[in-house]
Amino acid sequence: MTKCPPPAHRSAMLAARRELKMARSAHAFVRGSTERFYEWLASPQTTTIPAGPPVWVCGDCHIGNLGPIGHTEGHAVVEMRDLDQTVIGNPAHDLLRLALSLAMSARSSDLPGVTTARVTEDLVAGYEHAFEGEEVSEAIEDLPPPIRIVMKRAVKRTSKRLLDERIGGDRKIPLGKQFWPLSKQELVAVRSLAEQEPIRKLITRLEDRDAESPVSLVDAAFWVKGCSSLGLWRVAALVEFHTTGKKHRPALALLDIKQAIEANAPWAPDVNPGVAPGVRVVMGARHLAPALGSRMLAASLLERSVFIRELLPQDLKVELDRIDATDARKVAYYLGKVVGRAHRRQLDLTATRAWLAELTKHRTKTLDAPSWLWRALVELVGLHEHAYLEHCRRYALASGSAAAAHG
C-alpha cells in the first residue's frame, strides 16, 4: 500500500506526482502546463490571433476536458467537464488550445504531419458549423467511434458501479495511492459543509431521491486527482441520503470538493466580475456546460474558495492516447461543434455573424483553416515538444539523484 503522507507533507508528494504524470507523454505534458500556453499568448508574437467577442471560455480546452456529463434528468450529454480556468475571454484561445491538444494527441499516436493539418481543418469546420446552425447530436450512433465507446459506457454505468470504481463500493473511503487522510480540522469543516442546506438541495434534487431527506457525511478523504490541478486542495466526501419509494432506503453519493484559485487564462478587458474563484468556476460552468453547471455550488472552506459537485455515473473522461487518422478527424470535427455550441449560445445574432465572418478569413489554397491558427499551432507544438523533452531530462536527473541518495 502507498504510504499516505500527513496533511503537512502533502505538497511535496503532490508535486512529485504531477512531475511524473507530465513526463509520461507529450500530450500529458500539454494537459499539465496550462500556464505555459498563456505565457506564450502574452508574448509579442501572438498579435495575429484575432480578438473574438467576449464570452465565457473554458480556458483549458483540451481533449480530456470534454466528455460525457450526467444530466439531472438521468441522461448524458457531451460538454466541457473541467472549468477551473474559465473566464470571460477570447473564444479563439479555446479553439487554439483544443487544436494544440489534438495535434499532440496525433503526434503521440505516431500520425503524420499531414493528419495534423487535416485534423485542424476538421476542428475549425465543426466549430463553424455550430455557428451556422448545425446542432450537436448526442445520439450514440452519431458520435465518432472513440467518443461513442465512452458514451455507451456512461449511459450504462450505475451509481453502484461508480462507487465500486471510485472507492471499492464500501462505506469507508480506502486510504492509499488515491486517497489520503484529512486532518481533524479539515474533517470537521467538510462535515459542516456537507450538512448545509444548499448541499442537501443539490443532492436531493434528482428524481429518485427524497427532496426532504437529510444529508449526512459518512466519510471523507483528501483526493489525489488530476494533473494541472495536483497541488490544490481537493476532497472526496461520501454522504448518505434517502431515496423515494416504499422502501425509502438510504443511499450514498460521492461529492468532489475542489479548491479554486485565480485563472491563468486572461479576462477580456473590463469584464472581470471580481468574484471568488469558486464562484467564477460555477458561473462559467453554467454558461458553457449547463448540464454540469446546474449541479455545482461554490463555497468557502477553511479560508479556501471551493466548488462542489456530486459525481454522477455518466461523468466520464475521453482519453485519446492512441488514435488512428480517420477517428482523429471525426473526433476533431465533433469536438469543434461541442465548443462552438458552448460559445455560440452566449452570443446574439450580430456577434455570431461577425465572429463567423472573422473565422472564414485568411484561408490559403493549401489549408482550409485560418492561417493565424495554423501558424500559432506550429509554434506551440514546437514550444511544447521542446519543453516536454527538457521536463523529461530534468525528471530523469532528479529521479537518478533520488535513487542514488537512497541506494
Residue 261 burial by Cβ neighbours in a 10 Å radius (0-12, 13-18, 19+): middle
Find where cell 489525489 sits: 224
Is the entire prediction scored with pTM above 0.75?
Answer: yes
Specify the pLDDT at position 13: 79
303: left (phi over 0), alpha (psi -120 to 50) or beta: left
Closest CA to 55 of 94, 23, 15: 94
Name the domain boundary from 258, 284, 310: 310
Residue 164 Cα to chain centre, angstroms: 22
326 and 305 share one domain:
no
User: Residue 175 falls within a domain, yes or no?
Assistant: yes
Name the domain boundary from 310, 336, 354: 310
Contact 323, 105 (CB under 8 A): yes
The structural domain count of the chain equals: 2
240 and 352 share one domain:
no
268 and 239 share one domain:
yes
The proportion of the chain whose per-residue pLDDT surpasses 70, expressed as a percent, equals 93
31 and 148 share one domain:
yes
Count, residues in the chain: 407
User: Residue 91 falls within a domain, yes or no?
Assistant: yes
Residue 132 burial by Cβ neighbours in a 10 Å radius (0-12, 13-18, 19+): exposed
173 and 298 share one domain:
yes
User: Residue 341 falls within a domain, yes or no?
Assistant: yes
User: Residue 48 falls within a domain, yes or no?
Assistant: yes
CA dihedral 345, 229, 47, 347 (to 10 degrees): 10
Measured between alpha carbons, how far is residue 234 from residues 160, 169, 207, 265 in Å?
23, 20, 28, 21
Find where cell 465533433 sits: 334
265 and 289 share one domain:
yes
Regarding predicted confidence, which is higher, 8 or 280? 280
Find where cell 448541499 sits: 199
Query: How far is residue 300's CA from residue 87's CA, in Å, rounded to a whole number?
Result: 20
User: Residue 361 falls within a domain, yes or no?
Assistant: yes
User: Residue 14 falls within a domain, yes or no?
Assistant: no
The proportion of the chain whose per-residue pLDDT surpasses 90, expressed as a percent, equals 56
| 73: confidence class by pLDDT, cuts 50, 70, 90 | low
303 and 344 share one domain:
no
Neighbouring C-beta atoms of residue 285, cutoff 10 Å: 29
Specify the pLDDT at position 72: 67
286 and 333 share one domain:
no
52 and 179 share one domain:
no
Neighbouring C-beta atoms of residue 389, cutoff 10 Å: 12
The 3-state DSSP class for residue 202 equals helix
User: Residue 344 falls within a domain, yes or no?
Assistant: yes
Query: How far is residue 317's CA from residue 80's CA, in Å, rounded to a whole number?
Result: 10
Residue 403 has pLDDT above 60, yes or no: no
234 and 367 share one domain:
no
Contact 194, 186 (CB under 8 A): no
Find where cell 458561473 sits: 283
The 3-state DSSP class for residue 11 equals helix
305 and 325 share one domain:
no
pLDDT in tens, 283-302: 999 999 999 999 999 999 99
Check the CA dihedral 100-105-108-113 and report its sign: negative
pLDDT in tens, 18-59: 778 788 777 778 877 888 899 888 887 777 899 999 999 999
Neighbouring C-beta atoms of residue 363, cutoff 10 Å: 15
User: Average pLDDT for residues 126-130, to the nearest whole number?
Assistant: 93
Closest CA to 268 of 358, 343, 319: 343
73 and 110 share one domain:
yes
| 227: confidence class by pLDDT, cuts 50, 70, 90 | low
Neighbouring C-beta atoms of residue 352, cutoff 10 Å: 18
Contact 67, 316 (CB under 8 A): yes
Contact 260, 307 (CB under 8 A): yes
- Could you tell me the residue range of the domain that residue 355 belongs to? 21-156+318-406
Specify the pLDDT at position 364: 80
What mean pLDDT value characterizes the chain? Answer: 88
- The type of residue at 283 is M
Name the domain boundary from 310, 326, 350: 310
User: Average pLDDT for residues 110-131, to the nearest whole number?
Assistant: 92
Residue 88 has pLDDT above 90, yes or no: yes
The 3-state DSSP class for residue 239 equals strand
Query: How far is residue 249's CA from residue 210's CA, in Å, rounded to a whole number?
Result: 10
User: Residue 339 falls within a domain, yes or no?
Assistant: yes
